[in-house]
């Protein structure tokens, strides 16, 4: 009996010792992984000699990419195109073309949904694993967080080597810098404005909503005709970023918005100008402009109402060009900027980079990864393919050279006009920090349905921003 | 008489593989979560600074956690409905005079076999305020005033999701009760009938006591399932509108995956685990004593 107890105790202790050893290794492993990852993070071209060589290469207008390729490399790419089969096809096609040109580099692409990618990337990279290249959201709260924890590498050497600086819009270059060099290449430009059903407007004798008064008059006219003015549906919570965002960007200077959409800034959500803009959006709901029961309707429900002509306007962004073009083949639809509420401000629009290519610190082949990005984003073949699929370029690519969808040209015009004047703003509530985003998604639903006052709303948002800033510091 | 190798302490060797797997996949993550709960880790940084019991202290004063806990407890009470319904159905379907009992059992059990993702999408469609079946049915019978955006209404969002969950659960409860009914001695019913007891009294005094083990089992299962509930709310409302349908599971997900407060989220997860363990043990103890 005694020996039985002894044996049982020994067996259990053996397991517990193994367990303790596994637990104890945890931090050490993490540190070791980080230590190993850091040298790998530095691109081989990061040394001074190689940097000067890279600069020389950048000065040469055309460099055969195959000359820069490492001997062999195997790359893994995670994209956020999981729910966009059309764009998956574009990237997969470009990838095949890349591998045909570079038989020594194999690239495997895994398409994930946007939400899934936001969750898997930080976990995978923090564990020292993960892909070589990610197509990640380019905000301070997303790609910025990875940059600050050294989970993605500084792309400055590759910007010089491949001449990306000369091709990207200046503001696109700036949006991927989080206190240091660029850590991403903006994959697409996106801007928020108003899609409106031209046929329906003509039928009802309504003018295009080119001024704020015109927008309100059009909304009233649609409502009187029994048509929902705005296809706003917010069960998914994030569409509020655009419904509230257009009012904020039409009323508050871009610099001020940047002040509270940033942890480093000193701006505040509870500024009276922001509160007034939020109140303006709330007044649209009170006037019956949004879909009835909007908090119980998904984004796709709102889209369907717009496609069917049961809603006359849709406040959303560039990403819907493809779907609108496909679903409203017999209807003329135009896209225009949301008119400025404060007309003393220069034209500005909510928008930003739709996603950015970044190279992870855990990649063993950053040179090959940069070569791949250079091909799938900057080659003429790639630029044309993306534009034809409805993606706004982030470069100075000449869109007139390809057969772009008319709505995409409208989007580009809005982007260009805003860029030339006040600027492209921020994804309201989603730029600074996840704590702010969390507060935004839940509180925006209830401020819009009238169960939370605007004053309490901006106060809660400001509290979240302060908490995020405290955490960051 | 002995079994040689198999009779001595050696036989404990056989539990080592299972114990090792259990330790690796259950105990280790638990211990790791417990360790993280005493840090301020953000899930990204390579360093984790210890904060002592600060996360646990914070949890005690967290209004959002209290609200989520209250929603969980509401759900616990809500989960009793399908058990009562399942019990009624089981009693009904055990009656010999009902034709097609097997078909009914299959039909009623069917929802329990569906993936919660499918259930969420399906009930989202039913609750759709523009074209959903529920509002359409209410309008068809002249109850227009009762139509609403079920999932977008702060009062009705949580009950609507609970209702969808109950729809998947009553069939499971029915099957458990049907199995229990087969173990009740039929002579008890015959004796009760001879003594003049009607169907209702037989149900109350023979069927229900005879099913106490099944009732206890279902109460424990539903309690544990309800406290760790996540899927349906995530699919149907995301915890909204506002935080009206947020459960502890959703809150933990928000803290860890969205807000990157992994240390604090782990502390809440540990508290949830301890709560479930303690309540389950108490419940089982009480059951055994009774």
Tell me: pLDDT of B288 over 80: no
Are residues A386 and A322 in contact, defined by beta-carbon separation less than 8 angstroms? no
Cα B157 from Cα B244, distance rounded (Å): 7
Contact across the interface for A438 and B237, Cβ inside 8 Å:
no
Locate A61 and state its tokens.
């207008």
DSSP 8-state class, residue A152: B
Contact across the interface for A6 and B13, Cβ inside 8 Å:
no
Please give the ipTM for the structure prediction. Answer: 0.81
Predicted confidence band at A68 (pLDDT cuts at 50, 70, 90)?
Answer: low
Locate A324 and state its tokens.
């609108």
Query: Cα(first)–Cα(last) distance of chain A, in Å?
Result: 60
CA A86 to chain centre: 18
Predicted confidence band at B8 (pLDDT cuts at 50, 70, 90)?
Answer: low
User: How far is CA A460 from each of CA A268, A415, A447, B38, rounded to the nearest angstrom?
Assistant: 11, 31, 11, 27
Residue B282, judged by CB atoms within 10 A of its CB (0-12, 13-18, 19+), counts as exposed
- Name the minimum distance, in Å, from the CA of B101 to any CA of chain A: 38
Task: Domains for chain B: give ranges and CATH numbers.
Answer: 68-259 (1.10.3720.10)
| Closest CA relative to residue A238, chosen from A123, A291, A125, A316 | A316
Q: Which of A65-69, A402-406, B169-173, B220-224 ranks highest by mean pLDDT?
A: B169-173
What would the mean pLDDT of B154-173 be, rounded to a whole number?
Answer: 95
Instruction: Quickly count: other Cβ atoms within 10 Å of residue A80's Cβ.
Output: 23
Q: pLDDT tens, A239-273?
A: 999 999 999 999 999 999 999 999 888 899 999 99
Instruction: Using alpha carbons only, give the angle A44, A34, A468 rounded to the nearest 5 degrees.
Output: 110
pTM: 0.81
| Closest CA relative to residue A126, chosen from B163, B227, B257 | B257
Tell me: pLDDT of A60 over 60: no
Length in residues, chain B? 290
List CB contacts (< 8 A) between B24 and chain A.
19, 22
By Cβ distance, the residue of A292, A438, A449 closest to B259 is A438
What pLDDT score was predicted for residue A206?
Answer: 97
Cα B236 from Cα B255, distance rounded (Å): 19
- Name the minimum distance, in Å, from the CA of A255 to any CA of chain B: 25
What would the mean pLDDT of B120-149 be, rounded to a whole number?
Answer: 95
Contact across the interface for B9 and A4, Cβ inside 8 Å:
yes
- Name the minimum distance, in Å, from the CA of A273 to any CA of chain B: 24
What sign for the dihedral angle of Cα B205, B206, B209, B212? negative
| Closest CA relative to residue A137, chosen from A348, A300, A358 | A358
Cα A461 from Cα A472, distance rounded (Å): 16
Cα A254 from Cα A250, distance rounded (Å): 9
Predicted confidence band at A127 (pLDDT cuts at 50, 70, 90)?
Answer: confident
Q: Which long-range contacts (CB under 8 A, 24 or more apart) does B126-130 make?
A: B127/A296, B127/B151, B127/B160, B127/B236, B128/A296, B128/A297, B128/A301, B129/A292, B129/A293, B129/A296, B129/A297, B130/A291, B130/A292, B130/A293, B130/A297, B130/A301, B130/A305
List CB contacts (< 8 A) between B8 and chain A.
3-4, 7
What pLDDT score was predicted for residue A129?
Answer: 83
Tell me: pLDDT of A17 over 60: no
What pLDDT score was predicted for residue B7?
Answer: 61
Contact across the interface for B149 and A295, Cβ inside 8 Å:
yes
Portion 167-226 of A in contact with B at CB < 8 A = none
Paired strand residues for A110: A78
What would the mean pLDDT of B103-125 be, rounded to a whole number?
Answer: 93
What pLDDT score was predicted for residue B5?
Answer: 55
Cα A140 from Cα A178, distance rounded (Å): 7
- Name the minimum distance, in Å, from the CA of A231 to any CA of chain B: 12
Nearest CA in chain A to B238: A236
Contact across the interface for B12 and A446, Cβ inside 8 Å:
no
Region label for A107, one of left (φ > 0), alpha (ψ between -120 and 50) or beta (otherwise)? beta
What would the mean pLDDT of B57-76 be, rounded to a whole number?
Answer: 94
- Name the minimum distance, in Å, from the CA of A135 to any CA of chain B: 18
Are residues B280 and B223 in contact, defined by beta-carbon separation less than 8 angstroms? yes
Q: pLDDT tens, B212-232?
A: 889 988 988 888 888 889 999
Task: Domains for chain A: give ranges and CATH numbers.
Answer: 68-188+353-404 (3.40.190.10), 190-351+407-472 (3.40.190.10)
Contact across the interface for A295 and B28, Cβ inside 8 Å:
no
Are residues A247 and A321 in contact, defined by beta-carbon separation less than 8 angstroms? no
**What share of chain B in percent tops pLDDT 90?**
68
Sequence-distant (≥ 6) Cβ neighbours of residue A25 within 8 angstroms: none
What pLDDT score was predicted for residue A4?
Answer: 47
What pLDDT score was predicted for residue A57?
Answer: 37
Locate A356 and state its tokens.
């950015």
Cα A160 from Cα A54, distance rounded (Å): 7
Backbone angles phi, psi at A352, to 5 degrees: 160, -165
3-state secondary structure of A291: coil
Q: Which of A36-40, A83-87, A159-163, B274-278 ranks highest by mean pLDDT?
A: A159-163
- The enclosing H or E element of B180 equals helix B157-181
By Cβ distance, the residue of B32, B45, B241 closest to A149 is B45
What pLDDT score was predicted for residue A396?
Answer: 85
**Checking DSSP bridges between strand A423-424 and strand A348-349, what pairing results, if any?**
parallel
Q: Which of B238, B259, B262, B266 is the best residue to mutate to test the A interface, defined by the most A CB atoms within 10 Å of its own CB? A: B259
- Name the minimum distance, in Å, from the CA of A46 to any CA of chain B: 23
Region label for B104, one of left (φ > 0), alpha (ψ between -120 and 50) or beta (otherwise)? alpha
Instruction: Quickly count: other Cβ atoms within 10 Å of residue B13's Cβ.
Output: 12
Predicted confidence band at B138 (pLDDT cuts at 50, 70, 90)?
Answer: very high
Contact across the interface for B257 and A119, Cβ inside 8 Å:
yes
What would the mean pLDDT of B259-263 be, rounded to a whole number?
Answer: 91
Residue A449 contacts B, CB cutoff 8 Å = yes
Are residues B246 and B62 in contact, defined by beta-carbon separation less than 8 angstroms? no
HEC string for A221-280: HHHHCCCEEECCCCCCCCCHHHHHHHHHHCCCCHHHHHHHCCCCCCCCCCCHHHHHHHHH
Contact across the interface for A445 and B23, Cβ inside 8 Å:
no
Cα A356 from Cα A177, distance rounded (Å): 12
User: How far is CA A267 from each of CA A259, B65, B259, rounded to the nearest angstrom?
Assistant: 4, 29, 21
Residue A293 contacts B, CB cutoff 8 Å = yes
List CB contacts (< 8 A) between B15 and chain A.
11
Locate B122 and state its tokens.
């399906």
What would the mean pLDDT of A33-41 be, rounded to a whole number?
Answer: 33
- Max Cα–Cα distance, chain A, nearest Å: 96
Mean pLDDT in chain A? Answer: 86
Query: Cα(first)–Cα(last) distance of chain B, in Å?
Result: 40
What would the mean pLDDT of A421-426 be, rounded to a whole number?
Answer: 92
What pLDDT score was predicted for residue B100?
Answer: 85
Cα B91 from Cα A115, distance rounded (Å): 45
Q: Rg for chain A (alpha carbons), in Å?
A: 25
């Amino acid at each position: 009996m005694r020996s039985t107890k002894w044996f049982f105790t020994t067996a259990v202790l053996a397991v517990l010792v193994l367990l303790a050893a596994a637990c104890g290794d945890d931090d050490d492993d993490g540190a070791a992984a980080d230590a190993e990852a850091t040298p790998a993070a530095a691109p081989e071209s990061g040394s001074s000699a190689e940097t000067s060589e890279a600069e020389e290469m950048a000065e040469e207008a055309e460099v055969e990419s195959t000359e820069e390729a490492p001997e062999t490399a195997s790359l893994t790419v995670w994209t956020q195109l999981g729910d966009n089969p059309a764009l998956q096809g574009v990237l997969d096609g470009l990838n095949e073309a890349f591998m045909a040109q570079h038989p020594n580099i194999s690239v495997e692409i895994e398409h994930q949904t946007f939400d899934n990618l936001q969750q898997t990337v930080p976990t995978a990279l923090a564990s020292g694993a993960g892909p070589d290249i990610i197509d990640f959201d380019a905000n301070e709260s997303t790609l910025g967080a990875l940059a600050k924890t050294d989970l993605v590498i500084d792309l400055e050497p590759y910007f010089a080597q491949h001449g990306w600086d000369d091709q990207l819009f200046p503001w696109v270059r700036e949006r991927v810098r989080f206190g240091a060099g660029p850590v991403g290449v903006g994959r697409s430009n996106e801007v928020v404005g108003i899609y409106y059903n031209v046929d329906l407007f003509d039928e009802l004798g309504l003018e295009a909503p080119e001024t704020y008064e015109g927008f309100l008059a059009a909304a009233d006219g649609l409502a009187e005709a029994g048509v929902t003015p705005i296809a706003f549906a917010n069960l998914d919570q994030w569409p509020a970023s655009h419904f509230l965002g257009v009012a904020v960007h039409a009323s508050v200077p871009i610099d001020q918005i940047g002040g509270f959409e940033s942890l480093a800034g000193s701006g505040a959500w509870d500024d009276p100008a922001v509160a007034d803009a939020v109140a303006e959006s709330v007044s649209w709901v009170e006037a019956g402009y949004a879909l009835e029961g909007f908090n119980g309707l998904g984004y796709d429900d709102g889209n369907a109402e717009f496609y069917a002509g049961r809603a006359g306007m849709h406040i959303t962004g560039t990403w819907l060009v493809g779907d609108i073009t496909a679903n409203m083949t017999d209807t003329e639809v135009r896209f225009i900027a949301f008119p400025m509420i404060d007309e003393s401000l220069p034209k500005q629009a909510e928008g930003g980079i739709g996603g950015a290519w970044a190279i992870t610190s855990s990649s063993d082949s950053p040179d090959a990864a940069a070569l791949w990005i250079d091909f799938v984003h900057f080659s003429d073949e790639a630029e044309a393919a993306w534009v034809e699929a409805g993606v706004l370029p982030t470069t100075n690519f000449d869109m007139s050279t390809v057969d772009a969808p008319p709505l995409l040209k409208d989007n580009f015009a809005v982007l260009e006009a805003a860029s030339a004047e006040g600027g492209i703003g921020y994804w309201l509530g989603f730029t600074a920090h996840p704590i702010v985003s969390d507060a935004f998604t839940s509180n925006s639903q209830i401020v819009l349905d009238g169960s939370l006052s605007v004053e309490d709303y901006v106060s809660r948002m400001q509290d979240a921003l302060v908490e995020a800033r405290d955490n960051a510091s | 008489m002995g079994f040689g190798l198999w009779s001595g302490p050696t036989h404990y060797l056989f539990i080592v593989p299972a114990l090792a797997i259990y330790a690796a996949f259950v105990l280790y993550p638990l211990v790791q979560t417990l360790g993280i709960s005493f840090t301020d880790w953000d899930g990204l940084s390579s360093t984790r600074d210890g904060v002592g019991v600060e996360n646990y202290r914070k949890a005690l004063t967290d209004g959002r956690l209290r609200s989520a806990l209250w929603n969980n407890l509401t759900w616990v009470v809500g989960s009793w409905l399908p058990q009562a319904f399942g019990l009624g159905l089981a009693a009904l379907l055990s009656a010999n005079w009902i034709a097609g009992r097997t078909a009914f059992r299959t039909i009623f059990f069917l929802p329990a076999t569906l993936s919660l993702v499918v259930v969420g999408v399906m009930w989202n469609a039913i609750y759709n305020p523009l074209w959903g079946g529920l509002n359409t049915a209410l309008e068809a019978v002249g109850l227009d005033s009762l139509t609403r955006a079920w999932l977008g209404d702060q009062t009705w969002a949580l009950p609507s999701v609970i209702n969808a969950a109950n729809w998947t659960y009553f069939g499971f409860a029915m099957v458990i009760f049907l199995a229990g009914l087969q173990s009740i001695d039929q002579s008890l019913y015959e004796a009760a009938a001879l003594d003049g007891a009607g169907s209702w009294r037989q149900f109350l005094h023979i069927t229900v006591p005879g099913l106490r083990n099944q009732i206890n089992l279902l109460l424990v299962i539903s309690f544990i399932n309800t406290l760790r509930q996540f899927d349906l709310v995530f699919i149907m409302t995301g915890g909204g509108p506002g935080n009206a349908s947020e459960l502890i599971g959703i809150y933990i997900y928000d803290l860890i995956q969205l807000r990157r407060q992994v240390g604090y989220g782990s502390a809440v997860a540990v508290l949830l685990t301890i709560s479930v363990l303690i309540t389950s043990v108490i419940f089982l103890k009480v059951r055994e004593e009774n």
